Chain A
Amino acid sequence: MKILHIFRSRPDETVDSLMVSFSDQEEKKTALYEADVDWDALVDDIFSSDKVISWW
């Protein structure tokens, strides 16, 4: 299972704790609060992932 984690803001301790169980799976992470988001690539990642979680 491929998981895409999207972060709308910098992850806090709660997010870090909630993500722990996913660490044994294939993960990709995208931070929207960074300046250089590749939105085209993000769309591809969304549709090539089995599950997408858009954290706070």
Chain B
Amino acid sequence: MTDNIAVLIKDRNRQYEGLRTSLGLLLEMAEVKMFVLNHEIENMDEAYSENMEFIDEMEGERYSNNRDNVEKYGFEFATLPEISQMLKQARLVIPF
């Protein structure tokens, strides 16, 4: 098990909160994989967009099982079974 943290974001109303937490963890030098599950990002406003860019700059990883997030916002596609495998490797799993 590598020392990484998985942030799972399933609740549409908490997409930004999960992003902020992911960034906070990255800034403290954790390896972070952020997963946006099922739903397209609902509010791709300036704040979300800027923080998402920070995630990329900090070498955080972004995955989604929603094709719109892949095509519109540059998430890497992963199915739920693939995400499950990545959770198995994570030291911590933080669901939002």
Contacts and interface: CB of A to CB of B under 8 A. Distances in A.
A–B: direct contact at CB < 8 Å: yes
Interface of A: 1, 14, 17-22, 51, 53-56
B84 A20 contact: yes
A21 B81 contact: yes
Given A53-B93, A54-B95, A56-B95, A18 B11 contact: no
Contacts of A51: 1, 91
A12 to B, nearest CB: 9
B51 interface: no
A18 to B, nearest CB: 5
B10 A20 contact: no
Nearest to A13: B80
Contacts of B1: 1, 51
A51 B88 CA distance: 10
A17 B93 contact: no
B4 interface: no
